[in-house]
Amino acid sequence: MGAVLALLASGCMRPAENRAVRDSKVGRADSGGMSLEVEDGLAAVRSLAAGELTLWGNAPAFTARATLSGDARSDWLVTVRNAMPDAELVAQVEGGEVLAVEALPQALPTVKAWRVGLPAGAKVRFTVAPPDWQAREPFRFVSLADVQEALPRVGDIYARMRQDDSVRFILFSGDLTETGSQEELLEFQSRLEAGSRIPLYATLGNHETFSNDAEAYSALVGRGSQSFVFRNVRFSVVDSSNGTLDPVVEEQLEGWLAASRDGAHVVSMHVPPQDPVGLRGGGFANRAESAGLVGKMAREGVDLTLYGHIHSYYSFTNAGIPAFISGGGGAIPETFDGVGRHYLVVDIGADDGLREVSLVRVD
């Protein structure tokens, strides 16, 4: 019996391990005369063929290294979906020369396309970012989670967001769709591109794992755990969809925490380490693990933690860090909470840290 229990448990001890390993492959492709690697996996390669590259951005700014074969085409069409509306492409041959880039007209606010000539056999570094990505001024972003089965109605949320021109992007804390299937994720992305004027950068939720352990998510959206910097504020999203952090992810997070010890840092994940309603227990599977995690984040000076999974709005603290649950994307709402569909608007700055978090009701 003990052996049976051990076998059963072994599958539950590191359920997120495969996804953590798979993360390392996001942003890599080799086809059509180009070998591409997106640094830190901040974009997913949607297609790569001779003369044509399409990426799905999962960060406001990212770089990629391309190595072209000797017989590669020289004229390339580079498309980045889910890009910042004012993103620019800089293509630079390693060693110095900045290549000429022609921006193509935009049909959608978050779909950017450029024509660029790439010399065969060269190593080229692409940078996709808005002009102000390294500034230090405060900015505003949106926090949202848990759309799930409310996907057909998600346009209402984007329409509400369009009323505020100052928000730069959406930080999404998991459960984009109900089951995480390829069809659902493609629908999510098409509705996002059609309805939102700003991109959405996400981590996955437990619902994404329902379909082949989130394989479609990795292919279409990107990494479950990643970290990027925008205007000198670090954003780290980690895959907590099984109520735990895989040791690989925790080690990555420790690196990101150390890198932003003295700067502003926002950490987001789907399942909150601690459910403010303890009797419900919607947090991590092991309370000691969650205490260890929030304690670590607090000691490293994290400014804000954002969570999903619980379909309501909660404002609390974990180990003294301001914490918010904003699962107002439309999935079966928590009743009697008087909130309904909602999202958060967060004002933050590199020098000021967290300035303000506002609740915006959609319905």
Partner 1 sequence: MVSELPPRSRRAWLMFMWVLIALPPTARAQSAFELLARGPELGGLDVPRATADGVAGEGTPPALASTALFAASEVTAAPGSDSRASASDAPVLGGADVASSAGESAPLSGAPSVMPAPHPAPPGADVLSPGQAPLPPLAPRPSFQVMPVAASVLPGLLFHGLGPWLAGDGHTAKRLFALEGTGLGLIGLGLVPIALTGASRRTIAPLYAVTLAGVSTFGISALANLYAVTSPAFDPGMPPLTLPPLELELGYQYVNDPAFDYSHFVSLGAQARFESLRLEGTARIAPGEGNTQVRLGGGYRLLGNPERALRGSDGSWLDAEAFGLFHRFPTEGFTVAGAEVGLRGRYAMVRVSPALAGSFAEVSLGASFQGYSYMGAVDDGNLHDQLLFTFGYGVWLGRGGPVRGDAMLYYDHRKDGFAGGSRSRAGGVVGSFGLRGRALLTEDWGVAADVQAGGAIVGRLSLIYAVGGEP
* Of positions 27, 138, 282, 349, contacts partner 1 by CB under 8 A: 282
At position 91, the amino acid (one-letter code) is A
The dihedral through the CA atoms of 164, 165, 170, 171 has a sign that is negative
DSSP letter at 191 equals H
| Cβ nearer to partner 1, comparing 47 with 315 | 315
Please work out the total of residues on this chain that contact partner 1, with binding judged by CB under 8 A. Answer: 61
* Binding of partner 1 by 318 (CB under 8 A): yes
Identify which range of 107-115, 187-195, 239-247, 341-349 contacts partner 1 by CB under 8 A: 239-247
* Of positions 58, 143, 196, 242, contacts partner 1 by CB under 8 A: 242
| Cβ nearer to partner 1, comparing 225 with 312 | 312
* Of positions 110, 274, 305, 326, contacts partner 1 by CB under 8 A: 274
Count of CB atoms situated within 10 Å of the CB of 326 = 31
Beta bridge partners of 54: 47, 79
* Binding of partner 1 by 333 (CB under 8 A): yes
CA angle 350, 234, 301 (to 5 degrees): 75
How far CA 100 is from CA of 17, 52, 54, 285, 293, in Å, comes to 42, 16, 19, 52, 46
Place of tokens 């010890």: 261
DSSP letter at 100 equals P
Task: Please give the Cα distance from 68 to 72 (Å, whole number).
Answer: 6
Question: Are 218 and 19 within 8 A, CB to CB?
Answer: yes
Question: Are 352 and 303 within 8 A, CB to CB?
Answer: no
CB of 187 to partner 1, least distance (A): 22
* Binding of partner 1 by 355 (CB under 8 A): no
- Return left, alpha or beta for 314; rule: phi > 0 is left, psi -120 to 50 is alpha, else beta: beta
* Of positions 337, 351, 356, 363, contacts partner 1 by CB under 8 A: 337
Task: Please give the Cα distance from 261 to 190 (Å, whole number).
Answer: 37
Which tokens hold the place of 24? 């390392």
* Binding of partner 1 by 277 (CB under 8 A): yes
* Binding of partner 1 by 120 (CB under 8 A): no
* Of positions 79, 115, 132, 316, contacts partner 1 by CB under 8 A: 316
CB of 279 to partner 1, least distance (A): 5
* Binding of partner 1 by 303 (CB under 8 A): no
Backbone angles phi, psi at 213, to 5 degrees: 50, 40
* Binding of partner 1 by 131 (CB under 8 A): no
Question: Are 354 and 346 within 8 A, CB to CB?
Answer: yes
* Of positions 46, 160, 197, 287, contacts partner 1 by CB under 8 A: 287
* Of positions 335, 351, 358, 363, contacts partner 1 by CB under 8 A: 335
Identify which range of 49-57, 226-234, 294-302, 353-361 contacts partner 1 by CB under 8 A: 294-302
Task: Please give the Cα distance from 296 to 280 (Å, whole number).
Answer: 24
At position 150, the amino acid (one-letter code) is A
Identify which range of 65-73, 132-140, 333-341, 352-360 contacts partner 1 by CB under 8 A: 333-341
Binding residues (CB under 8 A) for partner 1: these are 1-2, 5-6, 8-10, 12-16, 206, 209-210, 241-247, 250, 271, 274, 277-289, 291-292, 294-296, 298-299, 309-312, 316-320, 331-337
